[in-house]
Amino acid sequence: MGNHPTQSLLDLLTIKEQFGSFVGLNIVIVGDIKYSRVAKTNIEIMQKLGMNVYTTGINELQIPGVVMVDFKESISQMDVEMLLHYQFERFASNEKYQLDYLQNYKLTSALVEKMKPTAIIMYPAPFNRGIEIDDDVVECKQAKIFDQMANGVFVRMALLNNVLSPN
């Protein structure tokens, strides 16, 4: 309950493919940390693997125990930008949250230009083009979203094979 282990495994595989190691990598998880199973699972395991994990987003959606950074100011220092779904249903009656999110936490082309050339963009699919991420950013060379999706198939096939294997 409250975790998403298969998503975390495919995220870790995607990061390992890109960087070869986890130790010392800087990752920022952007968005609704408080209610995200993906974020909570990734924070725990990524810290154990030696990654420097940060969060950013609307203050009310953060959790204690993780360093919160300014999204736009920290972008040039991160190796991984991991975006999460904006949960419209949680804030349907509060336009302030939606406007704040769109203005301050959306990954745009201008922000991608400030990223390290080796940094990657991740996002657990399905994604909301134009909400958390600009359409052209989804397709940029640093985006590994489609690699994540493919790795999800491989990770889940391996787990099913292991669970259903007679040995």
Report all structural domains of the chain as residue ranges with CATH numbers, in order of start. 5-153 (3.40.50.1370)
Question: Under a CB-based contact definition with an 8 Å cutoff, are residues 123 and 39 in contact?
Answer: no
Sort strands 26-30 and 80-83 into parallel, antiparallel or unpaired.
parallel
Q: Which residues contact 71 (CB under 8 A, 6 or more apart)?
A: 28, 30, 56, 57, 104, 105
- What is the pTM for the complete model shown? 0.91
pLDDT tens per residue across span 69-112: 999 999 999 999 999 987 767 666 667 777 787 889 999 999 99
Quote the distance between the C-alpha of residue 96 and its chain's center.
23
Question: Cis bond leading into 64, ω under 30°?
Answer: no
CA proximity to 134, closest of 105, 94, 114: 105
pLDDT tens per residue across span 141-156: 999 999 999 998 888 8
Q: How far apart are CA 147 and CA 156, in angstroms?
A: 14
**Helix pair 5-19, 145-164: axis angle to 10 deg:** 120
The number of CA neighbours under 13 Å toward the Cβ of 107 is 36
Confidence tier at 118 by pLDDT (50, 70, 90): very high
Sign of CA dihedral 99, 37, 6, 27: positive
Q: What percentage of the chain exceeds 70 in pLDDT?
A: 95
